[in-house]
Amino acid sequence: MDPKLARVPADLKQVFATAENSLRKFFKDFKWDPEHGEIKIGGLRYMLVRTDSMSIELHDQLSKRFGEIPAAQIAFRLGRACGMRDARVFHEKFNASDPASRLALGPIHFALTGWAFVDIFEQSRPSTDENYCIVYDHPYSFEAAAYIDAGIRTSHPVCHMNSGYSSGWCQESYGVELKAEELTCRAMGHEKCIFVMAHPKRFDEMAAKTRKELGIV
């Protein structure tokens, strides 16, 4: 059975389908209690946040205070912290022990909580060492979509929290240090939001290889 909430290479389809089945059941346990200001899913507390507040406004305020590059770094770290924490919680909750099973929970949770859909490209090679590399698209990234919906065309990638969340989750899943960057972004007018994730020591090499393979200038 193919997963519906992520697009992945053939060798990952079964483990992603299993993760999707588990998380669909988890998200059916939804309790909305506005009298106490609470939303709980599967017994865990969540909150609803407007996406343009967490993308356009957050970046604008951080840029005014710290500058453009530091603002992007802060958003990345915020997303990364969320990804790492969520990964640890869900790995334990679903007794996920092997790296692939741990990874699979991430993109499915990502889709169910409204961050983005995840499309992992065939050339991806996740591993527990410095050879780790995955290339992926985040169709419907909430960050890019916020800018597009507001009619704002940017000169730089904007999906910093998407980058941070995915790298944080994958680092917790595979036990290897990882970083991710967005190479193309729909907010810039590109067709897709394409990211590369790799070990910091080999990141530039993997990013250059990906750009060449995909024809990204």
Which percentage of the chain shows pLDDT scores above 70?
100
CA 152 to chain centre: 22
Confidence of residue 1 (pLDDT cuts 50, 70, 90): confident
Where do the domains of the chain lie? 50-214
Write down the pLDDT at residue 217: 79
**How far is it, in rounded angstroms, from Cα 79 to Cα 143?**
12
- Please provide residue 88's backbone torsions phi and psi, each rounded to the nearest 5 degrees: -60, -40
- CATH number assigned to the domain covering 50-214: 3.30.1380.20
Write down the pLDDT at residue 116: 97
Residue 31 has pLDDT above 90, yes or no: yes
Half-sphere exposure of 209 (CA within 13 A, CB side): 13
How deeply is 79 buried, as exposed, middle or buried, from its count of CB atoms within 10 A (0-12, 13-18, 19+)? buried
How deeply is 39 buried, as exposed, middle or buried, from its count of CB atoms within 10 A (0-12, 13-18, 19+)? middle
Residue 51 has pLDDT above 90, yes or no: yes
Instruction: Give residue-wise pLDDT tens across range 79-113.
Output: 999 999 999 999 999 999 999 999 999 999 999 99
Confidence of residue 123 (pLDDT cuts 50, 70, 90): very high
Strand order in the sheet with 133-137: 119-120, 133-137, 194-198, 179-184
